[in-house]
A and B are shown apart, each in its own frame.
Chain A
């Protein structure tokens, strides 16, 4: 009987830890999912960090050219005008190009926005490297203010043969004021 009791206690402890562990696992799924998408380029996610331009090989494997299309959309409730300055570029693989997006705050008060990139076809996302991008941090515009936001990128030369056109689309989201307050702290920590 006492043996059963101690067995029971062990089982209860083990099962309870399993439940607590699974609660933690739900939260672990968040970074796991992000990392998984970033590594595989699934979901058209591009890297959230600037690429290192020195990583480009000196000698290019080919003179292949592909078209990169730029798209912009604005989510619900975001009062900004937002469009690419150039709609498409013919780019040579392994060469850095600079373009920009134009944003203007049409609201009567200051608004913070965050652009979220997505690449189609999704599996090509990991070949598009951004050296500099306005999407790396939140953008803040005063009422009526406008800005040309720069984007520097290159397409690496191991891009699969069948890809001739890449679409880079940004969706601009309004950052709620509570989160915008936090973002000042975020920004500070990034710049350090």
Chain B
């Protein structure tokens, strides 16, 4: 009896294979997928916290959440949405798309890429575990102002500090990787001013990350030493100053809000030309406007602190500097509208989300201008008006932006078209729900309803009930989105190479689904687009 080698089926270790594939991967597409799923998972966790908040605010009085637990929900919802959902979501898109869009074989530093992703599950595991600790999770709001987070912070604050350090390291390493990739691995012929706008906005975002995430790390380190090592950076008793916390925090915090939106600008600038079948209007002004916004973001932090007793000169400076940001932002909105002007527009789901982004983000921008006015801000400060403002810029900005990007590029990722009918249902329910949830907050805020408080006066009851109903609907649309994504991964009409008739760029020259390795030799630029291809419009 002779046993030949090929007769023996090799022993398979499915678990080991699975782990080594995902734990040790250095492939930008797989890491991008990991980032996106992490972001999506945390989106549901942080969204569930928002549901608790809206359930409690459905009626005045205290029904479901104790005040302390309510505060923990508000804090964790904010922290997870900012650091766990929006930022990893955009990094995931960057990982998938930047090498494809600049014709690079992979990210420049693939192992660092793996490391920056795998820090995150541990950082957020640590952060979420504080919910189960004695004394509860952090309860001082996502801005963790001293002395709430130093003298009065719960014991779990130290876990929060470590978690922030870890995700800060992850973001900085990810940003370094993105910049090095963009500077070194562009295909010959693609000069900086010929890069797609998504790549441009991410380049600027990455610089912002490197500049401000270390400042965040610094401020939480000061908190840590104030709490345990006898320093008094923020304690007046030892010669420190609690207001200084706000200065350092917002020096990080304001560029951070542009980190949360600039990639969204890039996504809109990719999608709108595709479905308008025109070139982007004013490419150069788009680039310069993005750079201007990034630079201005460093000199406007004071507008978060108008009510801290700042001198009038300071208030005036920060007010005018803030209002100046409306100029480059206005240039961008104008360019998007001008791109659509006389275009031959079709309204596929990515385009719907992109247009929703432009319109609702502009509303959020206008309420931001109102908040920038010093005399008015004294009324709006710390009310639901602020909540309405930043949800209008973050939900339709960052979240709609990410969803538009997913619908736009998922045929390239999976090789399948998503279900257009379900996508449209998703968009229309989402846009109704977003407005139902957040628009009434403008009114309650102007009427004086303070934020971050578990209970409210009776006169705000009706508007809050509307908000809560909208929030429930908004929560349900995310389940639909999850279903659409899974359905697309599992099957659907095959996507062509170019996917969209009007699409332009290197990523649309590789087959769908994109093979594991792409652009091992630099592709020609400008790309040779297949004229006949492009999935026919479904309407």
Chain A residues proximal to chain B, CB less than 8 Å: 4, 7-8, 11-12, 15-16, 18-27, 29-30, 33-34, 42-44, 48, 75, 113-114, 116, 122-123, 171, 173-176, 178-179, 181-182
Is A23 touching B218 in the complex (CB atoms < 8 A)? yes
Is A19 touching B213 in the complex (CB atoms < 8 A)? yes
By beta carbon, the residue of chain A nearest B109 is A12
By beta carbon, the residue of chain B nearest A172 is B237
State how many angstroms separate the Cβ of B167 from the closest Cβ of chain A: 14
State how many angstroms separate the Cβ of B253 from the closest Cβ of chain A: 13
State how many angstroms separate the Cβ of B235 from the closest Cβ of chain A: 7
B65 at the interface (CB under 8 A from A): no
B239 at the interface (CB under 8 A from A): yes
State how many angstroms separate the Cβ of A140 from the closest Cβ of chain B: 13
Is A27 touching B218 in the complex (CB atoms < 8 A)? yes
- How far is B231's CA from A178's CA once the two chains are assembled, in angstroms? 9
By beta carbon, the residue of chain A nearest B182 is A11
B161 at the interface (CB under 8 A from A): no
Is A8 touching B180 in the complex (CB atoms < 8 A)? yes
B286-329 residues at the A interface, CB under 8 angstroms = 309-311, 314
Cβ of A178: which chain B residues have Cβ within 8 Å of it? 230
- How far is B309's CA from A48's CA once the two chains are assembled, in angstroms? 20
- How far is B232's CA from A4's CA once the two chains are assembled, in angstroms? 47
Subset of 23 A-B contacts with CB under 8 Å: A8-B180, A8-B184, A11-B183, A15-B175, A15-B210, A16-B176, A19-B172, A19-B210, A20-B214, A22-B211, A23-B217, A26-B215, A26-B219, A26-B251, A30-B222, A30-B244, A43-B243, A114-B236, A171-B236, A173-B235, A176-B235, A178-B230, A179-B235
Contact with A along B175-215 (1 / 0, CB 8 A): 11001100111000000000000000000000000111111
Cβ of B247: which chain A residues have Cβ within 8 Å of it? 29, 33
B238 at the interface (CB under 8 A from A): yes
B233 at the interface (CB under 8 A from A): yes
B234-265 residues at the A interface, CB under 8 angstroms = 235-239, 241, 243-244, 247-248, 251-252
Cβ of A114: which chain B residues have Cβ within 8 Å of it? 236-239
Cβ of A19: which chain B residues have Cβ within 8 Å of it? 172, 176, 210, 213-214
B108 at the interface (CB under 8 A from A): yes
Cβ of A171: which chain B residues have Cβ within 8 Å of it? 236
Q: Which of B218, B232, B235, B236 contacts A26 (CB 8 A)?
A: B218
By beta carbon, the residue of chain A nearest B217 is A23
Known: A15-B175, A19-B210. 6 other contacts (CB 8 A): A8-B180, A12-B180, A23-B218, A114-B239, A116-B236, A178-B230
State how many angstroms separate the Cβ of A17 from the closest Cβ of chain B: 10
- How far is B221's CA from A25's CA once the two chains are assembled, in angstroms? 13
State how many angstroms separate the Cβ of B63 from the closest Cβ of chain A: 31
Cβ of A48: which chain B residues have Cβ within 8 Å of it? 239
Cβ of B179: which chain A residues have Cβ within 8 Å of it? 11, 15
Cβ of B180: which chain A residues have Cβ within 8 Å of it? 8, 11-12, 15
Cβ of A24: which chain B residues have Cβ within 8 Å of it? 218
- With most chain B CB atoms within 10 A of its CB, the pick from A16, A21, A29, A171 is A29
